Amino acid sequence: MTVRTRFAPSPTGYLHVGGARTALFNWLFARKHGGVFVLRVEDTDEARNTDEARQAIFDGMNWLGLDWDEGPGTGGDYGPYYQSERKPVYDEWFKKLLDSGRVYEDGGAWRFRFERKPVTMQDLVCGEVTIDYRDESNTPDMVVKRSDGSYVFHFVNVVDDLEMEITHVIRGEDHLMNTPKHLQLIEAFGGKAPQYAHIPLILNPDGSKMSKRDAGAAVGDYPKQGFLSAAVVNFISLLGWNPKTEREIFTLAELAECFSLGNINRAPARFDLEKCKWVNQQHLLGVSVADFAAAAQPFVVAAGLPIAENYLEVIAAVKDKVRLFGDVPAAVDFMLQDDFSFDEDALAKARGNASAGSLLAALAVRFSGLSEWSGDAAKAALNETALAAGAKPGQLMFPLRVALSGRAHGPDLGDILSILGRERCVTRLRALAGQL
């Protein structure tokens, strides 16, 4: 049996991180088992569908690397892959229910006649689930066709899964209670039900349900902030799935190798944007300086910063310290231009050192007298200046960093000195010395 999974989004809004995780788990399961991953667009809600939303879904999945084997733009033997184009298919399957007496008209709409019995399903994540349909007051017969002739989600969802020979349905836990309804429909059709796996919901750190307005909810925002797609995939995979090891950093190919439905947690997942940024930083460590610089450049340019001749050297100095490409402009601005702002707390701390002004002025003189300039030579001059003034080198290092960068933390001081060069360093030292 060839494993066939599907992702069936509705193009009524952007690709939500929850939807992306559903797509990812289906993609990983299909790849793990050498199967087929199908993209099916549930676009029967004409009033809410938009072309922008549909494109956002495609763009988001492409950015994440979740290519589909069958679906829009790819084709396949089970199309069309837009539900809006499948009404003739639904009409045929509805006729089967009509001929077998399993539907009846009710106020212009058509209801599916449930068999009044308990329905038990074996979910691959949630275990055994039973819904008792003997009490009609709790489980009224289900509308499958509206009075306007359109079909409801439950009907088209089941028909498409049967028609497309889907073997495994991996979807959010919010659909768990729908599944017994679907099993009754499948039984009425005489079809073979797929195996179901309902994955836990994604909650905010405070335990509230993650909404579309929460930070990190929209997949389309991640590239704008400078995330790597591989890192976002890695992070999303850990929302409700556990590799059963201490390891947390994976490539998409590695995830496909070790993914298992058995390792999906039953408890809801907690979304943590800071953890996502940490995962991104771990992936960035493996990116070459040249590739990192190229990816960061649009963010640097958008911030109005010049791309200097020593741009690669500047990027190399901060590469291992930033978490996102979007963080790069603020980390490098003082190296690419002389007009930069000072952190008020860092400036106040420098001013708290009574001898900082005189030490910076003395260091500027010593820098000016150096025959050759390098980070090491400048550091040696710093030590000599401090000792000559009867101070410790550490007393001079902090005000020097503030003078050169305007902040308390950042790249290695030797890298800053080397990148800025003697003239710019001397100018900045004298400027701050005059203010202290």
Q: Which residues are catalytic?
A: 212
| Residue 388, CA distances (Å) to 11, 381, 383, 393 in order | 71, 10, 9, 10
- Taking the C-alpha atoms of residue 217 and residue 343, their distance in angstroms, rounded to an integer, is 32
Q: Tell me how far apart the alpha carbons of residues 375 and 134 are, in angstroms, rounded to a whole number.
A: 81
The SS3 assignment for 244 reads coil
Give the Cα separation of 293 and 277 in Å (integer).
18
Give Cα 140 distance to the centre of its chain: 40
The rounded distance, in Å, linking the Cα atoms of 340 and 329 is 11
- Amino acid type, 63: W
In 220-265, where does DSSP find H-type helix? 221-225, 229-237, 252-258
Q: DSSP code of 261? A: G
Residues contacting residue 248 through CB under 8 Å, at least 6 positions apart: 234, 238, 279, 282
What's the rounded Cα separation, in Å, for the pair 61 and 55?
Answer: 10
The set of residues, in sequence order, having a beta carbon less than 8 Å from that of 246 and lying 6+ positions away, is none
Pair 413, 401: CB distance under 8 Å = yes
Using the 8-state DSSP alphabet, how is residue 239 labeled?
A: S
Do β-strands 168-172 and 195-199 pair in parallel, antiparallel, or remain unpaired? parallel
Q: Distance between CA 80 and CA 364 in Å, rounded?
A: 73
Residue 245: name the closest of 231, 233, 255, 230 by CA.
255
Segment holding 217, helix H or strand E: none
Q: Residue 226 in contact with residue 201, Cβ under 8 Å?
A: no
Question: If phi over 0 gives left and psi between -120 and 50 gives alpha, with beta otherwise, what is residue 307?
Answer: beta
* Best CA proximity match to 392, nearest among 430, 346, 356: 356
